[in-house]
Structures are given as C-alpha cells and as structure tokens.
Amino acid sequence: MPCKVDSIINSSIALSWSRGALRGKAQVPASKSESNRALIIQALAAGGELHNLSDANDTRLMRRLLQEPTASAFDAEDAGTVMRFLTAYLAMTGRQTELTGTARMLERPIGILVDALRQLGARIDYQGQEGYPPLRLQGRTPQPATEEEADFTELTVRGDISSQYISALLMIGPTLPHGLRIWLTGKVGSRPYIRMTQALMQHFGASCRDLGEVLEVRPQAYQPTNYTVEGDWSAASYWYAMVALAPAGSSLTLPTLRRYSWQGDQAIVGIMEKLGVKTEFLADEAVRLTQTEPAATLTQDFTDCPDLAQTVAVVAAALGVPAEMTGLESLRIKETDRIAALQTELAKFGGSLTDEGNGVFRVSAADFRVAGQTVATYHDHRMAMAFAPLALRGPLAVEAPQVVRKSYPQFWAELEQAGFTTGPTPAPVY
C-alpha cells in the first residue's frame, strides 16, 4: 500500500502517535556512504557486482551518471558525494565535460579538491565563482611514468575540511603511475569515513595505509570484486531517537546492521546509551534497541560523526538532558547551515542550541513542548528526519517531506508501518 505522503509534494506532512509503547521491526536503507564509494571504485575497477545498493536519490543519481560515458554535462543536483567523487573520477579519467548542481550546491566550496586535482594533472576551470561549482573539466595531463621506482606523488591537504575531498582523492590514487601520498594538516574530521573509503578500496584490491597524518596509496589496479552494502547507521539514528522518546517499555529491532561496521555513524550506539537506549547486537546482523534511563548530562564530540548532531540535539532537548556538543564545524556547509536551522527549529518547541564560543555548543530546554508546531526542513533531509521522532511526544507537522528521498525514501512509509498516523496538514503553527 503506498505511503500517504506520496501525494504530498510541496506541502507538509502531519505526524502523530496515539499508541502505547513502540515495538516491532523497522527497515533501514542500505548505506548511502558505502554505496556511492563502491560505485566509484567499481567503475575504476571496470567490474564486480554490488548488492543491496542504497535506493537513496544520491545513489540512484550516482549510478545514472556513471552510466553516461559520453555526456557533455553532469548535474550532481544536491548530492555532495556525487559532486566531489565525480569531480575526481571524471578528472582522472580524462573526461571533457561540465559538472554542475543545484543553487545550494553552487554555494558549497570545492576549491581545495580542485587545487589538489590540478596538481595531479587535471585541467579544471570554474564556470562561475572561483572555488565553487559549476566546473568545466578539460581532460588531464598524465603524469609521466618512469622505469625506475619513484616516490609517491605527494599532496598536502587540510584535515579539517569535508572528508569527502580526501576520500575522492584516495579512490583515484591507485590509477596514478606513482600512487599517492596525502599529508593531512591540522585537525582531521570525519576520519571514520576516510577509513571506510580505504576499507572498500582494499576490498577491491588496492593497497593503502593510514599512518595518521599521512595516507598512502600504491599504484595498483583495482580488481573487479563483488560487495554487499551494509544497512545505514545514519538512518538507524532516527529509530534510536524514536525509542528514546517513545512511551515507557519501548523496544525495536533493526536488521542489516553489523557489529563491526566501517561507518562512523555507528557511534550512535554509545551516544544513545547516554540518552536512554540500550543496543543489543543479534546473531543475524541486526540490533535490538531497548529503552532505559538517560544520563543526567551529555558531552559529545561530533568531529567523526557530524551527521548525528541534529538527531542528538533534538533528543537531548526533548528529554531535558543538558548537552555540550563540539565538532560541529562542517554543519555550516551541508545541505543548509544546520546549526542555524537547528537553532530556529528547536526554539519553536522551547529548546535552544547556544554557541558558547571556541567551537562549543550547548543544548538546553526550559519547557520543551510538542503541540502542533510545523518544522521547516531547509531542503535538508536530516532536518526532516531528526525532528520527526518528536511526534511521539505530541502532534507536529514537517514541511517538504519529500526531502527524505535524498537518503531514506521509505522513511514516512516506515513510520506508518510502525504505527504513526500521517497525512496532509492544515495551515502551519509557528
């Protein structure tokens, strides 16, 4: 049966919960992060079968664009991984084409990646503002291969930028005549995503090493290999939030999640234990979530898992657990300015996200109340899904519900299956 939200395009969806404890099983999508990396590596390996690929729009888009070998222009839409990974892939495969995206994507910087690729011989021009898409890729000047063993081709890259830049460079490393050595400077953010990239590269036969501030990739052709993508821990975080906010005695099972995961967002297990959700890993690659008592306070660094920040901020505010959050720097340049968006939307419920200076943000709530408010989503899928669990505490509405297609197209259908009441909403309440 189709989800009721299928007919709601630019409107809002009303959510409410009228049952007792939340129980049963929920399906999470396959990992978008793994899927998009695997697709790039599969293309560079020229073979291998990928199973359980994500049905997220970003992954569908990546698959479609990689299957257009002669296109004169590529539209990455609002997908960061597609823009960044394709920039490196197209540049190093010598394609002459244009790469663009949505208005918001054209505001997201890409200069650091372009500068690095230019050092590797790529000829890339900016079609608009310097340092930002759209890009014109003019092919590349190949590095000369020598008969003698040469040192790695070396790059120095800031570590405090999006890890997607670093992953994009790593994945094309094996195709270079001398491989690649990347020196990371400063604080390195989202390192688990870098490790995920390296693990997938190694699965396809590449040789790479993580030496802390230095990443090395040897010149060695990828081998066509099969791979099955794991469930998405980022998506699982919203179900953790639901168990935390549900009536007493709630418990939920989530399949396709591994105990030994490459995904940095598996950090949600430890974070949510402090917010009242216990995780039990089951034998068949599944987890059982059980509601427990939350801690009195929470202190968390999100440097390695920034996509969890919105979910955690909302849950902490709703539970009345004061939270100190750091490592949020990259949230300013996501699909929206997620810090500003959180501050605006939390305030509607009586919560706050305060900038304490020196990279510290504090979540608090004097009188948190869910009573028919409408949440704006700012073209950001994670804003919609981070606030949706509040429906367990009272009725609310979420604007532009279709934004979830970016990473979790079946999200609203899964909520209906779990027992939420959904439907169109009347005029918003602010």
Tell me the mean pLDDT per 10 residues along the chain, length 430.
47 94 96 96 97 94 92 93 97 94 94 96 97 96 63 91 93 96 90 94 96 94 96 97 97 94 95 98 94 97 93 98 94 87 97 96 95 96 97 97 94 97 67
- Domain 4-29+231-424 class? alpha beta
pLDDT of res. 147:
47
- Spatial contact of 210 and 181, defined as CB atoms under 8 Å apart: no
Non-local (6+) Cβ contacts of 9 within 8 A are 402
pLDDT of res. 1:
38
**171 vs 113: CA distance, rounded Å:** 13
Q: Do domains 4-29+231-424 and 32-227 have the same CATH topology?
A: yes
pLDDT of res. 84:
97
Residue 87: left if φ>0, alpha if ψ -120 to 50, beta else—which one? alpha
For residue 291, count CB atoms less than 10 angstroms from its CB and return exposed for 0-12, middle for 13-18, buried for 19 or more.
Answer: buried
Per residue in 316-363, pLDDT tens? 999 999 999 999 988 887 788 999 999 999 999 999 999 999 999 999
What six digits make up the tokens of 174?
Answer: 């094996």
**238 vs 33: CA distance, rounded Å:** 17
Q: Domain ranges in the chain?
A: 4-29+231-424, 32-227
Collapse the DSSP code of 364 into the 3-class scheme (helix H, G, I; strand E, B; otherwise coil) and give the result: strand
pLDDT of res. 187:
85
307 belongs to the catalytic site: yes
Backbone angles phi, psi at 90, to 5 degrees: -65, -40
What six digits make up the tokens of 42?
Answer: 């599969």
pLDDT of res. 4:
52
Backbone angles phi, psi at 203, to 5 degrees: -60, -35
Non-local (6+) Cβ contacts of 323 within 8 A are 297, 298, 299, 300, 312, 313, 316, 317, 362, 363, 364
What is the CATH T-level fold of the domain 32-227, as seen in this structure? UDP-n-acetylglucosamine1-carboxyvinyl-transferase; Chain (3.65.10)
Residue 301 one-letter amino acid: D
- Whole-structure pTM value: 0.84
State the binding site for phosphoenolpyruvate: 32, 80, 108, 164, 338, 382, 406
pLDDT of res. 159:
87
Catalytic one among 58, 78, 232, 307?
A: 307
State the binding site for 3-phosphoshikimate: 32-33, 37, 162-164, 190, 307, 334
Per residue in 359-376, pLDDT tens? 999 999 989 999 999 999
Backbone angles phi, psi at 53, to 5 degrees: -65, 150
